[in-house]
Amino acid sequence: MSFCQHCGGEVQIGWKACPQCANPIVNTPQPTIAPQPITPQIPPTDSISYNLDPIDELLGLNPAIQDSVVGGNVGTTTNHHSSTSMQVQDTVVMGNVVQNTYVTQTVNEEMLAYVISELQNLRLNVDLLRDGLETQKKPQIKDKNLVNRISQLNETVMNAELSSGAPMLDKEMYEKLSTVALSADADGAGYMTHSYGLRVEDREEKFRLAKRKARLGYWCMAVATHRSPEGYKNYIEAAEIYLETRDDRILQTFTFHQCTKIQWPINRWLQPFNDWITKLLLGRLVKKYELKALKDPTVPNWSEINALRIRAKEIHLQVKSARKQPKLLTG
């Protein structure tokens, strides 16, 4: 809307004169309004977090990544949390194959403290017992109450490990439990000796392990005959260690030599008769042994006895053949 410059009357744009005062109308161009710049809206500060894969969380990797956007500038903060585990190369003898495996050493501190406390309560001189294993053929610990306590300790450790699916102790503690159990002929001696054997590394340790397995093999085959399957298994494992290391000291031990004599043809011919006598006279102990085999994965049952004897005969011949071959330098 426009107005006359002379009388102030209302006029229309494009008129030549004002109808009220007849004065000419001066048309002035309408002012143009410059467009106002539009200020961009700055987004508020945002926080973005990235969730990791569950496997990364199990491995101990938990990086948190946060991005802050302020005035168009991006700031990134990254936090990394990592954990490492040590792998130890172990030599495991299985059948005819010597396998090098990598075992992650995991120790349950609570279980380790419990075992240390129990061994202290038993008041045993482990070093003296270890020396006795080298010289004495019979069990050194004969007190039944003490033997039962050792068996209970071994069973507690074994059940906890089988439930968790992982070992809980270190090599030194397995060696001590093996020493104590073998010295008492207690249940769990085979399990602890096997667990210790999975961690031996050098030639001298393997020699000591072979002697322990030969001792256990002889005791089960010649004395505690209701445990004959366990005896054959340990003799086989001792012979396999010899085939790996070619250490003649193993052959010279009394217990390994006695295990070898059981493989002689005349003794193999008498084995079925001996089994019949064992089950007839020691039936209660055989049933107890079978229950033990159901719980302990390192103890074979009587249904495996024939297969174990066939394998024992085979490895006996392999040992005889290896003794005649020239020796190679072994570490």
More confident call, 309 vs 137: 309
Mean pLDDT of 90-115: 63
Cα→Cα distances 226→102, 215, 229, Å: 36, 16, 8
Q: Which of 214, 208, 199 is nearest to 245 (CA)?
A: 208
* pLDDT band at residue 27 using 50, 70 and 90 as cut-offs: low
More confident call, 119 vs 53: 119
* pLDDT band at residue 28 using 50, 70 and 90 as cut-offs: low
pTM for the predicted model, two decimal places: 0.66
Helix ranges, 2-143 (H): 54-58, 109-122, 126-135
pLDDT given at position 50: 42
- Does the pLDDT at position 1 exceed 60? no
Chain center to CA of 69: 45
- Does the pLDDT at position 95 exceed 50? no
- In terms of average pLDDT, the best of 30-39, 42-51, 269-278 is 269-278
Q: Which of 267, 190, 192 is nearest to 235 (CA)?
A: 190
Q: Which residue has the tokens 């249940």?
A: 187
| Assigned token pair, 263 | 């493989």
Instruction: Give the CA angle between residues 84, 163, 83 to the nearest 5°.
Output: 10
Query: Taking the alpha carbons of 193, 195, 200, 206 in that order, is the dihedral positive or negative?
Result: positive
Q: Which of 184, 171, 248, 263 is nearest to 219 (CA)?
A: 184
- In terms of average pLDDT, the best of 14-28, 44-58, 246-260 is 246-260
Contacts of 39 (CB under 8 A, 6+ apart): none
More confident call, 80 vs 194: 194
